[in-house]
A and B are shown apart, each in its own frame.
Chain A
């Protein structure tokens, strides 16, 4: 693979237009079940509970017809960091909670609770990454935005400008591929003039320094593009009517309700039984 294909290396955040049970649920239902599950993975303290969550996410991947190998690829880039964090966790957590020592060398002691904490951390982040990937695989940005808008609509009554908030999210999401493409273009044009870019050589500091010449033009070009987009939005009467409408009509069926209820019950069950 070319060093410059930034879009291809990140699997998280890519919607996969598949024809699955999950994809056919109402957008609000999908947002709710993904939120419940991801919240649970974030706050579940016990390893058994986390493993149960992981199983729940894998069931989700299967229901969403997501190729498992594709989903797992998203785990690879952050893996080194996870391992470093887990190792740190082993040492630190072992110091905080007293537990039997398995191995000791000077000040370094490895305890049962430390190992437990390290493994938990890996499982938790695996679950989070897979869960977030699942959400993005099954929820197109447009569904996400429309679903969120519908879920947040009640806030309109207390004066929260939900449509503008949603527009902020929408434009941000719209800009992600544009940014990736711009970054690719800038990196390529610098590399074509001899910059050691995308080679991945050198230590962390050197590599970070290579990014600086990319960031500045990326900012300038993004500001420029944002200005253009603001003009285009203005030209299409954005904000000139106080009662904008929406073409998308969401339809929350009984099945959607059942799935949301089912997921909520499962999540609560994991929370309760793991303790």
Chain B
């Protein structure tokens, strides 16, 4: 029997590429057998998506060949067979839903395969049950959350009964809960015998595979087990990737806890490998939570309520009595699942949405006052939207960044603020100002988008998921850039799905759940409230979980440890105390 996927010396050149351009894929060869769980990793632009699209004949090799279950993808007559064997779930949830209701979308694939109506109905029912979307089956797609849409997309593939599913960064735009759900589903399907190939930027997700294939500049640089793949940190950085957070933490902890084995790749395996305290029980003194420096309140929201499409049958309550206080020069983080109201709240803070109930004050502006114009407020509080690069409207980087100042009536001397804004995010003015926006890499686009908000020199910077969808290297660069900004005298209000990032980026946090603030406080206090976080579909950062687990093992650690360095030095102190 032929292998499920057999790739032989595959090379691919984009048809529109310049003649001198490097091929997108170069001499790729590998075989995937039935039942494998493979993760495909690599930096942005390394050719992962291009390779994935060869696996169900969306692209055909320029040279070499790829056979799916023995069928060569160059034979157009076999497309129906190939596409019923290998299904694909794409990154962007809304673009891949064709049907007008959940149910009909799931039926789309089987209908195209010419399956009998009664059988389609059966398959659709099973597929919708598998992804747990029964109660939404008649909903139109645009009324679903991103995570739900992604589950519908998966159901649509499952209904075609493929033997293999390829996920192209299917989790990168989802919240932690949505990501966990999709990853759990994908592993469960693999246990049931399906072959799964998934592209991911999250190294902890890559670590869950049985096999990792890594691409760099169109070539395979490694094909092996996760343990082999993650054994060399230097090589990972070279190709724009990183260790999974658990493995990175192990590296930091091993000097103090030599008993920790190397090669722990997931949070769960790390937590279960933590040693108990070698000393008899020591009384744990709870560290007093550090008092925050007192500063005047810059942003004050009280009892804010907001309903979208109020007064129509589609009314949707987004905020139901949120209160929040953010101090001057104290960065504030907003956390919560998708749909908890973070974006709606942020849009209130620069006056895009005016309060329906409750009050909002941002700096000197009381936003309940309709006379205060949006134009005034948005100079004071700049807002960068989710995936801001999707809203680029100028051709050139320089014009895009200059849009804000130009709107404010600036005609001459635009270069100054534009240069300043670009340099704040680490973009060289001379090098980038005349670049076309669509030729930039993912990370560069995000920086331009940030610069275009910074060009108005705002006092408050509102960031909605500033790091979503970035590969590990761009993620790290952007994070460093954002930290730098708060040093420039700006106050940041950041919403994020990545708890780890907020450890450094926000001193205070507010947890939102169904449009209400359920928890506010310093980041260490909020992250220590594991139970409340879990109920809201979130998980504290790994360091906090490790510290909590060590406490349970008898280590005298205080609550609220959120920095790896703190954890290491606390453990050192304990051990030194024991030997002294």
Q: Which residues from chain A sit less than 8 Å from chain B, CB to CB?
A: 1-2, 4-5, 7-8, 11, 14-17, 70, 140-142, 145, 170-171, 173-174, 177-178, 181, 185-186, 188-196, 199, 213, 216-217, 221, 225, 228-229, 231-241, 243-249
Q: Chain B nearest CB: distance from A163 CB in Å?
A: 9
Chain A minimum-CB-distance residue to B387? A185
Q: Determine the chain A residues whose CB is within 8 A of the CB of B92 once the complex forms.
A: 225, 228
In the docked arrangement, what's the CA distance between A234 and B58, Å? 7
Residue of A nearest to B84 (CB): A237
Q: Does any Cβ of A come within 8 Å of B247's Cβ?
A: no
Which residue on chain B has the smallest CB distance to residue A173? B100
From known contacts A140-B100, A174-B97, infer whether A7 and B353 are also in contact, taking CB-CB under 8 Å.
no
Q: Interface readout for B378-411 with A: 1 if CB under 8 Å, 0 if not?
A: 1100110100101111000000000110011000
A84 CA / B88 CA spacing, docked (Å): 53
* B95 near A232: Cβ-Cβ < 8 Å: yes
Q: Tell me the bound Cα distance from A231 to B84 in angstroms.
A: 15
Are B378 and A235 interface neighbours, CB within 8 A? no
Q: How far is the CB of B375 from chain A (nearest CB, A)?
A: 5
Contacts A190-B393, A249-B117 given; indicate if A16 touches B313 (C-beta within 8 A): yes
Distance in angstroms from B230 CB to nearest chain A CB is 31
Contact present for B353 and A196 (CB under 8 Å): no
Selecting from B27-35, B102-110, B275-283, the interface stretch reads B102-110
Q: Is the CB of A241 within 8 A of B138?
A: no
B142 within 8 A of A: yes
Closest to B121 in A: A247
**Given known contacts A140-B100, A173-B100, A189 and B385 CB-to-CB distance under 8 angstroms:** yes
Given contacts A5-B309, A174-B97, A235-B58, contact A142 B104 (CB under 8 A): yes
- Shortest CB distance B380–A (Å): 11
Q: Which single residue of chain A is at the shortest CB-CB distance from B109?
A: A236
- Contact assessment for B353 and A228 in the assembled complex, using a CB-CB cutoff below 8 Å: no
Q: In the complex, how many angstroms separate the beta carbon of B294 from the nearest chain A beta carbon?
A: 31
A245 touches B114 (CB 8 A): yes
Min CB distance, B443 to chain A, in Å?
Answer: 19
Q: Tell me the minimal C-beta distance from B127 to chain A in angstroms.
A: 12
The reply to whether A236 and B104 contact each other, CB–CB distance below 8 Å, is no
Question: Residue B111 at the A interface, CB < 8 A?
Answer: yes
- Cβ contacts under 8 Å, B390 to chain A: 185, 221
* A232 close to B98 (CB less than 8 A): yes
User: CB within 8 Å of A: which of B47-65?
Assistant: 53, 56, 58
The reply on B112 being an interface residue by CB < 8 A is yes
Give every chain B residue within 8 A of A233 (Cβ-Cβ). Answer: 98, 108
| B90, B110, B111, B308 — most chain A CB neighbours (10 Å) | B111
Say which residue of B56, B115, B313 sits within 8 Å of A235 (CB atoms).
Answer: B56
Q: Are B95 and A194 in contact (CB under 8 A)?
A: no
Give the chain B neighbours of A16 by CB distance below 8 A. 313
Q: Give min CB distance, A200 to chain B, whole Å.
A: 13
Check B117–A174 contact: CB distance below 8 A. no
Q: Would you call A192 and B88 a contact (CB within 8 A)?
A: no
Inter-chain CA distance A181–B83, complex, in Å, is 31
- CB closest residue in chain B, given A213: B393
Contacts of A235 in B (CB 8 A): 56, 58, 83, 87-88, 90
Min CB–CB distance A118 → chain B (angstroms): 32
Alpha-carbon distance between A89 and B129 when the two chains are bound, in angstroms:
59
Set of chain A residues within 8 Å of B157, measured between Cβ atoms: 236
B347 to A240, Cβ gap below 8 A? no
B16 nearest CB across to chain A (Å): 13
- A193-B456 in contact (CB<8A): yes
Given contacts A232-B96, A248-B104, contact A189 B112 (CB under 8 A): no
Q: Which A residues are in CB contact (< 8 Å) with B104?
A: 142, 247-248
Min CB–CB distance A79 → chain B (angstroms): 19
Cβ-neighbour of B116 out of A5, A174, A216, A245 (below 8 A):
A245
Q: Does B264 contact A (CB under 8 A)?
A: no
Residues of B within 8 A of A213 (CB): 393
User: A236 CA to B160 CA in the complex, in Å?
Assistant: 8
The answer to whether B521 has its CB under 8 Å from any CB of chain A is no
With A194-B456, A237-B79, A247-B104 already in contact, the answer to whether A70 and B313 are too (CB < 8 A) is yes
Q: Is the CB of A229 within 8 A of B84?
A: no
Let me know if B156 is at the binding interface, CB within 8 A.
yes
Bound: A228/B49 CA distance, A: 13
Q: How far is the CB of A216 from chain B (nearest CB, A)?
A: 6
Q: When the two chains form their complex, are residues B393 and A217 in contact, meaning their CB atoms are under 8 A apart?
A: yes
CA distance A11 to B314 in the complex (A): 11
Contact A240 B112 (CB under 8 A): yes
Interface: B470 (CB within 8 A) = no
Residues on the B chain within 8 Å of A142, using CB: 99-101, 104
In the complex, the answer to whether B100 meets A174 with C-beta atoms within 8 Å is: yes
Chain B residues closer than 8 Å to A217, beta-carbon distance: 391-393
Question: Is B172 interfacial (CB 8 A cutoff)?
Answer: no
Bound complex: CA A221 to CA B96 (Å): 15
Residue among A142, A189, A244 with max Cβ neighbours from chain B (10 Å):
A189
B135 at the interface (CB under 8 A from A): no
* CB closest chain-A residue, reference B139: A17
Contact of B404 among A141, A171, A194 (CB under 8 A): A194
Instruction: Establish whether residues B114 and A243, one from each chain, have CB atoms under 8 Å apart when the complex forms.
Output: yes
| Residues in A neighbouring B80, C-beta threshold 8 A | 237, 240-241
A–B complex contacts, Cβ < 8 Å, 22 sampled: A4-B352, A5-B309, A8-B309, A14-B313, A17-B138, A140-B101, A145-B100, A174-B99, A189-B391, A192-B382, A195-B407, A217-B393, A225-B94, A228-B92, A232-B90, A232-B97, A241-B112, A241-B113, A244-B111, A245-B120, A247-B103, A247-B117
A1 CB contacts on chain B under 8 angstroms: 310-311
Separation of A191 and B377 alpha carbons in the complex (Å) = 11
Q: Does B453 reach chain A (CB closer than 8 Å)?
A: yes
A15 vs B142: C-alpha distance in the bound complex, in angstroms? 13
Contacts of B379 in A (CB 8 A): 194
